Amino acid sequence: MMRELAWLVELGDLGHVTDAAAAVGTSQPTLSRALARLEAELGVRIFERVPTGVEPTPDGELVLEAARDLVARHDRLRATLADRLDPDTGIVRLAFLDSMATTLVPRLLRTFHAEVPGAKVVLSQEPAHDIRRDLDRGAVELGLTLEQSADYGWLPVQRERLVVVVPPTHRLRHRKRVELSELADDELVTTPAGFGYSSLVQGLLAEAGVSMRISFESADLATIEGLVSAGLGVAVVPEPFAGLTGSVGLALASQGASRTIGLTWRTDRPLAPPAQRFLDFVGARTWADD
């Protein structure tokens, strides 16, 4: 239909079937049949023959006005989509966990922007279950998360050591390394239940045979570190968060005291070129902190 409307606009502009057919690269009979189909569908006569060619009827003027608008909008849409899908200027839709908002994500984006300055990255900061939901429904193309699934692509990006942070007045503040069992009587500041990071911390506690009372919960690891600095408990955080506002970071004896952050994406469909460009860019570099 859009092709026929474009032909119609060309015929209206040139006023001659032969000239219009040549301009759009088709034969005169093919153009005439397309015009007849449009007239039959709309129930009006669009053109009348005149000695010099064809002229639009009053109804035809209305049809041509609408056709020009539709063709112009269609052309703009195609141009917009082409721009969005251009690997150098298109849009990457990336979701990430709250705990990465002040560490890995800014580093990734700063380096990517330096290499591909025309690309636009639309960010969604959300819990792991929302990232999976948005990947499933196509709202985002890539997710930075801790969860690896056999149904999704997975590219490990960064491995972070986990440490315990304690208040600056804590009894163990001068230690270099601690066991979680030594903190069993302390209160824990952590992320809410249902967050991937909360599951990671609870797994470390279970491994150590420790159950700690939770004093405060926050989705933001920087806030958690601040609460610890204020003396409101202890926390397990990635090493870059230790000492942000005065807390003291202590190494954990547990061998599992780390988290691996990775990019995940759907594999049942090709990634759009800008998203593939971002994935290739990340995969070609080393981001690990340790």
CA distances, 81 to each of 57, 121, 151, 180 (Å) = 35, 15, 28, 53
Predicted local confidence at residue 113, as pLDDT: 95
Return the exposure string of 251-279: e unless at least 16 CB atoms fall within 10 Å of the residue's CB, then b.
Answer: bbebeebbbebbbbbbeeeebbebbbbbb
The answer to whether 131 and 140 are in contact (CB under 8 A) is yes
Angle at 95 between CA 91 and CA 98, to 5 degrees: 140
Q: What residues are paired with 258 via a beta bridge?
A: 161
Domain range 159-258, CATH class: alpha beta
d(CA 149, CA 275): 19
Predicted local confidence at residue 46, as pLDDT: 92
Task: Give the pLDDT of the chain (290 residues) as one tens digit per residue.
Answer: 788 899 888 898 898 889 988 988 999 899 899 889 988 989 999 999 898 888 999 998 999 999 999 988 888 787 777 767 788 888 899 999 877 877 789 999 999 999 999 999 999 998 888 899 999 998 899 999 987 788 899 999 988 899 999 999 999 999 999 999 999 999 999 998 877 788 889 999 999 999 999 999 998 889 999 999 999 999 999 998 999 999 999 999 887 799 889 999 999 989 999 999 999 999 998 765 54
CA distances, 54 to each of 20, 32, 49 (Å) = 11, 12, 4
Lookup: tokens for 221: 């690891």
Lookup: tokens for 204: 């470390």
Long-range Cβ contacts of 130-134 (<8 Å, 24+ apart): 130/95, 131/95, 131/96, 131/97, 131/264, 134/95
- CATH code, 2-85: 1.10.10.10
Lookup: tokens for 253: 């004896």
Residue 35 CB burial class (10 angstroms; 0-12, 13-18, ≥19): buried
Predicted local confidence at residue 289, as pLDDT: 54
- CATH code, 91-157+260-283: 3.40.190.10
List the one residue out of 251, 247, 205 whose CA is nearest residue 224. 247
For the chain, where do the domains classified as CATH 3.40.190.290 start and end?
Answer: 159-258
d(CA 174, CA 250): 9
Predicted local confidence at residue 288, as pLDDT: 56
d(CA 6, CA 9): 5
Enter the pTM of the model. 0.66
The answer to whether 151 and 281 are in contact (CB under 8 A) is no
For the chain, where do the domains classified as CATH 3.40.190.10 start and end?
Answer: 91-157+260-283
d(CA 288, CA 33): 64
Predicted local confidence at residue 290, as pLDDT: 44
3 state SS of 180:
helix
For the chain, where do the domains classified as CATH 1.10.10.10 start and end?
Answer: 2-85
